[in-house]
Structure 1
Amino acid sequence: MLILAGGLMFVLATPAVHGAVWVQCGSLVDVADGRTLDAHTVVVENESVAEVIAGHPEVPDGAERIDLREYTCLPGLMDMHTHLSSESSPEAYVHRFTMNEADIALRGANFARITLEAGFTTVRDLGDSFNATIALRDAVGAGLVPGPRIFTAAKSLATTGGHADPTNAWRSDIMGDPGPREGVINGVAEARKAVRQRYKDGADVIKITATGGVLSVARSGENAQFFDDELEAIITTAADYGMHVAAHAHGAEGMRRAVQAGVHSIEHGTYMDDEIMQMMIDRGTWYVPTISAGRFVADKAEVEGYFPPMVAEKAAEIGPLIQDTFARAHEAGVRIAFGTDCGVCPHGDNAREFGFMVEAGMSPADALRAATIQAAELLGQSDRLGQLREGYAADLIAVTGDPLEDVEVLMDVRFVMRDGEVFVER
């Protein structure tokens, strides 16, 4: 079924393609080599790329032809830090008391559609409410709702009063004492139980808040919030269940502890110093910068009433620093994967991150690799995601112009295919 959405033709819950489809591209970005090739044809069978052919050979009888000869094709983009079940607004703090589980799930489905429409065919979701993104991941996989391929952490893990404690700033008579099931841990035993609960719930990855954060109603945006033994318990338990650990971290001390303990990725990394950068290089720790969120909260901190006063103060201090940290980390050689923190910043604006990365000194080719090949490597999916090549998932988008010359063209995606299904076409 086709419906009109924002000027695009949007395909809702169409069965996966089972015959051959020949996608004729005016040009094609080779993200591995960082170059734009001339006319190519991508042959799709079922959910995978069967062949990539130079030029536009004659389409065989019985095959479907998709004409993108006026466009540049490239692999579907990948965002390694999203929050599909929420979006920042002045009312967001009230929503915790007024929105039911069903409200959050349905809102998440809408944000998933918007994200896919923006050309992002794979995301990592690093924190939700009520395990909404587990259900959303499964619904997308079953073809019930349109959205990107989702790898989710479900509910983030925090310590009492930490950045992801869901009862921060609540009235004392309703605050209660949330525990591992709600993602709040104190001590080694609770750390292990919380990870095992996430495994039981169906999470793909573990997310911890190793330091304070910006949007929580708590004084510090950077203090360390886990002890070494708690971090070790989380990481070793997660490894037993085949899961990596992503660490939200702004402050240096909590970041240092998390890297030493063996987290897979550092998110935000605002006060990352040279010592931590070298530790990350030595250990192969990934960095997911989320410049978009930093820029967004810094802007909104100047809008009276958008954030509570305590949050606005932190946003004004921390938000503007992330882009500079990214520039230094990139220059130092830290491994970087693309991530926006959309949900803090608006869903659908994910591609703005490319402009911020290039503005900070990264080449367009490296920025695209961060959102394709390197994101796939972070996920452990290098053998099937992040490139248009034989045997890989048929995730393909098309834009006007050459993103290696101007990354801003990625803000206007004209065609989206995920797993061989066409979801968006002009």
Structure 2
Amino acid sequence: MKLQLCAAVLIFCAGGIAGAAEQVERSEVLTMGNQAGFQEARYADDGSLRVHFEFNDRGRGPRLDSEYRIAADGSVDAIANKGNDYFKGAVDESFRRDGAKASWKNSAEDESRELARPAFYLSLNGTPEEYVLLARALIKAGAQGLDILPAGTARAEKLGELKVKGKPGAKKVSLYALHGLDLTPSFLWLDEQQRFFASYSSWQSVVREGYAEALPALGKMQDTQEKQLAEQRAKALTTPLTGPLLIRNVRAFDPASGETTAAAAVLIDKGRIVAAGKEAALSVPAGTETLDGGGRFLMPGLWDMHAHFFGQADGVLDIAGGVTTVRDLANNPPVLAERIKAIEANKDIGPRIIKAGIIDGPGPFAGPTKALADNEADAQRFVDEYAASGHEQIKIYSSIKPELMPAIARMAHAKGLRVSGHVPAYMTARQFVENGADEIQHINMLMLNFLFDKVQDTRSPARFTSIGEYGASIDLGSPQVLEFVAFLKQRGTVVDPTVSTFEDMFLGRPKLPGPGFAAIMDRLPLSWQRGIKSGAGGLPIKPGQEAAYRDGYQRMIDFVGLLYRSGVRIVSGTDGSGGLQLARELELYVAAGIPPKDVLRIATYDSAGVAKRDKEYGRIAPGYVADLILVDGDPTLNMADIRKVRTVIRGDRRFDSAKLFESIGIKPAP
């Protein structure tokens, strides 16, 4: 749902275009500096615009042809989009404006509306070029902005200019912030003619052909703007704890013991817990600040053990949702290091971040990383670099040669690093563990162990669709499954299931979204609500396969329950927006049959243990770091209450959850 200017498409099928003169603009899509796709925009003198856009992301990615009819005043009269979306679902979208009447149709919407004032239709699946058209309209509209169809409002703000050089020559480009489309401003670079020049991020960028060398300069200026916004937000929303604080009148839950102490209090100072227990038994120094918990539930901060921390709103989302520690499992190392530095210096808001470095193999399905190893020498270099830069774990990805995997494990272990990841293609989960893996990411990777006769190349989306097609046939009570689970227990293998990240993927389809965000739908910005309601995040399920995919997904949940009952260690991870999504992950563990108290232990003390931090994190006990959350209700009885975080203490700083959510356009939990 996060706005990515390179993730959608628009098309208007009109006759007579071929004969008009055209201005052709071609841009390239770069993922972590690697060529991943392109956009070609053709502006004709008759007011038509044709755009082709595509990129490849491990076998996923859109391929779109869009045509627009642009009116004399620059507004868009008609759009038609055809092709496929990120998950290869069919795209057939149209928009038309006739006077004051606007009509549009796509896989999830079929609407008409009489317009009382100017508005801009934003496609459900649109190309980067569409945001150029939007930006021009917003610039023309001025400070009051424009209504966005079907919902919301937006405005553009010019932030600065920059002179850049490329093979075609020098250009002066301008940076614009588009407000109202996402949780934080969306950035877009335009040239002197207000043509598309670039959309930049440290992960994936789209840039005018011949100007890739300008991206570092664009990134530096854009990062400066983003850092200023982050620093302003941190200053306004962080309360530093400069002296002792007594949190009193709470029900204190200690995950290690599973016990809840009523009428409790916790005394913290200098970021750590000094004392905890019955309030009447505590000795409190004179002058101590007091926070009355109002009888609420106090517990350690949550851990998201599968994060990718690169969105500008990620830190605010995590802290607002009670997530005080995350493990980042693949990122741009220097960019992540800067974010960590800013957070720890209180110039940004965010959780504690544990770094894991990804290594993949080269090829058409390579992951978004520069760490691509085809031999042991390359692998050793990447392991050494990650170890030297404070990474604690190596995540092996799907395109690594099976014969190279054990060497990477040996290298990592020699450096004191854990080893985890996707099971590489042409390898079983059992072989992955036998050859040195300490942990497996994603529950589908374990299920594929029993589908090796049907799918071996798991670099592509086949690692998802095969679960939908065949997953329900896996008998969790069979000797083969039980023996494998016992093997995982005996080896001490950790599993990071991320069941929530598959929920809408397997259960959502056009006009019928999955249930993953149902509990918080009305709290989200209108643009996010639209994306969720569309069901656009679902896999392209063939007619008649809906039940199979639903049953395959249920088998994932059941497998998590089997792992827990068998003593296999589980950690809580989302591979998504942790501050919003982790609660759903924990609810699904309860649905798998894990008692709520044990789920809370998994999401705190147990995860800290896997990260070798359980002597300092994950408990309410003297000497432990004061990462604490104050919650309405009782998640040991109703896991849904974990969404009702009111106050977050992250060591030596305090946050109001409601104010954090409001700062990024999300309504606080009721």
Q: TM-score range by the shorter chain?
A: 0.7 to 0.9
Kept after mapping to 1: 8 A contact 2:396/2:419: yes
User: What is the identity, as a one-letter code, of the residue corresponding to 1:226?
Assistant: K
Kept after mapping to 2: 8 A contact 1:12/1:145: no
Matched, 1:269 2:443: yes
CA distance in 1, matches of 2:278, 2:439: 37
Alpha carbons of structure 1 residues 79 and 293: separation in structure 2 relative to 1, 3 Å: same
Matched, 1:226 2:401: yes
The structure 1 residue matched to 2:376, chosen from 185, 188, 191, is 188
Aligned to 1:152: 355
Aligned to 2:273: 49
Moved more, 54-63 or 33-42: 54-63
Give the drift of 1:375: 0.2
Kept after mapping to 1: 8 A contact 2:443/2:556: yes
Matched, 1:326 2:560: yes
CA distance in 1, matches of 2:440, 2:364: 17
Matched, 1:23 2:257: no
CA distance in 2, matches of 1:359, 1:205: 30
Report Cα offsets for 1:54-100 as digits up to 9, x if no partner.
Answer: 12568542111111133110011111111222xxxxxxxxxxxxxxx
Unaligned residue ranges in structure 2 (runs of 5+): 1-182, 184-232, 450-480, 512-533, 659-670
Alpha carbons of structure 1 residues 126 and 311: separation in structure 2 relative to 1, 3 Å: farther
Give the drift of 1:246: 1.9
Q: Secondary structure at the match of 1:352?
A: helix
Alignment of 1:191-340 (within 5 A): 191-209=379-397, 211=398, 225-228=400-403, 230-249=404-423, 253-270=427-444, 271=447, 273-300=481-508, 302=510, 306=536, 321-340=555-574
Alpha carbons of structure 1 residues 33 and 251: separation in structure 2 relative to 1, 3 Å: farther
CA distance in 1, matches of 2:623, 2:392: 23
User: What is the identity, as a one-letter code, of the residue corresponding to 2:367?
Assistant: D
Report Cα offsets for 1:23-72 as digits up to 9, x if no partner.
Answer: 11421112122232211111101011111131256854211111113311
Q: Secondary structure at the match of 1:70?
A: coil
User: What is the identity, as a one-letter code, of the residue corresponding to 1:40?
Assistant: A
Alpha carbons of structure 1 residues 12 and 316: separation in structure 2 relative to 1, 3 Å: farther
Aligned to 1:397: 629
CA distance in 1, matches of 2:380, 2:541: 31
Q: Secondary structure at the match of 1:38?
A: strand
User: What is the identity, as a one-letter code, of the residue corresponding to 2:612?
Assistant: G
Report Cα offsets for 1:138-182 as digits up to 9, x if no partner.
Answer: 22222221111000224x22122375533xxxxxxxxxxxxxx81
The structure 2 residue matched to 1:128, chosen from 331, 347, 363, is 331
Q: Secondary structure at the match of 1:39?
A: strand
Larger Rg: 2
Q: Percent identity?
A: 28
Alignment of 1:337-352 (within 5 A): 337-343=571-577, 347-352=579-584
CA distance in 1, matches of 2:382, 2:540: 29
Alpha carbons of structure 1 residues 195 and 308: separation in structure 2 relative to 1, 3 Å: farther
Aligned to 2:515: none
Q: Secondary structure at the match of 1:351?
A: helix
Report Cα offsets for 1:383-425 as digits up to 9, x if no partner.
Answer: 1011111111001101111111111100121110011310225
Alpha carbons of structure 1 residues 302 and 360: separation in structure 2 relative to 1, 3 Å: farther
CA distance in 1, matches of 2:439, 2:365: 17
TM-score by length of 1: 0.77
Kept after mapping to 2: 8 A contact 1:235/1:262: yes
Moved more, 250-259 or 324-333: 250-259
Q: Secondary structure at the match of 2:296?
A: strand
Kept after mapping to 2: 8 A contact 1:40/1:54: yes
User: What is the identity, as a one-letter code, of the residue corresponding to 1:283?
Assistant: R
CA distance in 2, matches of 1:112, 1:141: 12
CA distance in 2, matches of 1:370, 1:12: 33
Q: Secondary structure at the match of 2:600?
A: helix
Moved more, 110-119 or 16-25: 16-25
Matched, 1:111 2:314: yes
CA distance in 1, matches of 2:258, 2:598: 8
Q: Secondary structure at the match of 2:606?
A: helix
Report Cα offsets for 1:222-247 as digits up to 9, x if no partner.
Answer: xxx5324x222222222233321221
Give the drift of 1:254: 3.3
Alignment of 1:349-364 (within 5 A): 349-364=581-596
Give the drift of 1:14: 4.4
Kept after mapping to 1: 8 A contact 2:402/2:425: no
The structure 2 residue matched to 1:161, chosen from 349, 363, 372, is 363
Aligned to 1:72: 297
Kept after mapping to 2: 8 A contact 1:10/1:425: no
Report Cα offsets for 1:341-383 as digits up to 9, x if no partner.
Answer: 225xx75221111111101100001101101111011101011
Matched, 1:40 2:264: yes
CA distance in 1, matches of 2:337, 2:509: 32
CA distance in 2, matches of 1:357, 1:309: 23
CA distance in 2, matches of 1:26, 1:408: 19
Aligned to 1:61: 286
CA distance in 1, matches of 2:538, 2:649: 40
CA distance in 2, matches of 1:119, 1:417: 9
TM-score by length of 2: 0.50
Kept after mapping to 2: 8 A contact 1:10/1:423: no
CA distance in 1, matches of 2:354, 2:571: 15
Give the drift of 1:200: 4.0
Moved more, 397-406 or 18-27: 18-27
Q: Secondary structure at the match of 1:53?
A: strand
Alpha carbons of structure 1 residues 251 and 198: separation in structure 2 relative to 1, 3 Å: same
